[in-house]
Amino acid sequence: MNGGRRMVGPLVRRGALEERRHVVRVAGRTLDEHGAAVPGAAVALWTEPGFDGTACMLRGQTVTRAGGLFYFLDCPGGQYVASAAAAGDARGTANFRVDSAPADGAPVAVADITCRRAGGHATPT
């Protein structure tokens, strides 16, 4: 017991109510070609297709905040692709791995995305 709360995995139980504790697993920024933040970009997070033929799956979508910041909660370990689309047809992607959560806490994968105008190639920073 902890202050009247009983820990149940990622849940906290208090009476008949349960609270789910979310953990940030992916965080990053969208940047332009000059390294300036790109707020208001649409970011989608996808699992990468597996070698066993499993298809990619959309894990979530968000819009970047001030400073170009974004994050995703509760992503299991595995390979991911984050794609961003900003005003003026600027787009970018970042490929990265989310490690499985260790017993003492979940590591955060950082996925900064450089958005380039059409015709240019986007590379993660």
Residue 48 domain-assigned? yes
9, part of any domain: no
pLDDT at 103 over 90: no
* Residue 12 domain-assigned (yes or no): no
Model pTM? 0.72
- Establish if 61 belongs to a structural domain: yes
* H, E, C per residue of the chain: CECCEEEECCEEEECCEEEECCCEEEEEEEECCCCCECCCCEEEEEECCCCCCCCCCEEEEEECCHHHEEEEECCCCEEEEEEEEEHHHEEEEEEEEECCCCCCCCCCEECCEECECCCCCCCEC
CATH for 50:
2.60.40.180
In a domain, 15, yes or no: no
Task: Please give the tally of structural domains in the chain.
Answer: 1
Q: What is the pLDDT of residues 21-68, one digit of tens each?
A: 778 889 999 999 999 999 999 999 999 876 676 778 899 999 999 999
Domain housing 34: 23-114
| Residue predicted with more confidence, 20 or 63 | 63
Does 117 have pLDDT greater than 70? yes
Residue 83 placed within a domain: yes
